[in-house]
Structure formats: structure tokens, C-alpha cells
């Protein structure tokens, strides 16, 4: 990854990201705690190809942060799971 790409990712991603790379794809899934979103990045081109906003629902935790705590993949079912501190939720996102 060149320095330009690194700078772009630093600007696009919120604080405290949790990252998972698909086993059979070049897609990175990033849970962004600071803005309650999941970014999808094509690692082969270093490009953000999707941003999924408002992942956690309900009132935010202390400090007005929804708190996406982690992300994991179920590639067999084409699902992305995030753990969220808001109301102790798990969010399921279709990756198909």
C-alpha cells in the first residue's frame, strides 16, 4: 500500500476500527466505532467500495458512541456480524 492509500484510509475510517479479511475474497470489513458504520474495502485496489451507515440502533453508550466492538464473517452464508455496545446488540449484514 502506498503512502497516498494509507492517508486516504486514515481519513475515511473512524477511530478504533476492527478489521476482518474475507478468506476467499480481497474484501476487508471494517467496523468503525466512531461513526457507527462498516466500511468495505477492496484490498486488491486499496479502495473503499461501500460504507454501511447506522449499524447499531438505539441510544448510544457513554460519550455518544455506539461502540461497534468487533466484526466477523460467515462466508458460507454471505453474512457479516458486528458486536455493538449499544443495547448489547449483534447486527447481521448480508454481504451478498
* Domains along the sequence of the chain with CATH: 3-94 (2.40.10)
- In terms of pTM, does the model score above 0.85? no
CB count, 10 Å around CB of 52? 18
pLDDT for residue 60: 57
Report the pLDDT averaged over residues 26-37: 84
Cα 38 to Cα 70: distance, rounded to the nearest angstrom: 10
pLDDT for residue 49: 93
Question: Is the model more confident about 15 or about 44?
Answer: 44
Question: Is the model more confident about 26 or about 64?
Answer: 26
User: For the stretch 62-72, what's the b/e string if a residue is b when 16 or more beta carbons lie within 10 angstroms of its beta carbon?
Assistant: eeebbbbbebe
pLDDT for residue 50: 92
Amino acid at each position: 500500500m502506498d503512502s497516498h492509500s494509507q492517508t486516504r484510509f486514515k481519513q475515511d475510517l473512524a477511530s478504533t476500527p476492527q478489521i476482518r479479511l474475507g478468506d476467499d475474497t480481497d474484501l476487508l470489513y471494517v467496523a468503525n466505532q466512531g461513526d457507527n458504520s462498516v466500511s468495505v474495502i477492496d484490498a486488491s485496489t486499496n479502495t473503499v467500495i461501500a460504507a454501511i451507515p447506522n449499524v447499531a440502533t438505539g441510544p448510544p453508550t457513554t460519550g455518544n458512541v455506539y461502540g461497534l466492538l468487533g466484526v466477523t464473517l460467515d462466508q458460507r452464508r454471505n453474512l457479516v456480524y458486528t458486536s455493538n455496545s449499544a443495547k448489547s446488540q449483534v447486527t447481521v449484514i448480508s454481504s451478498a
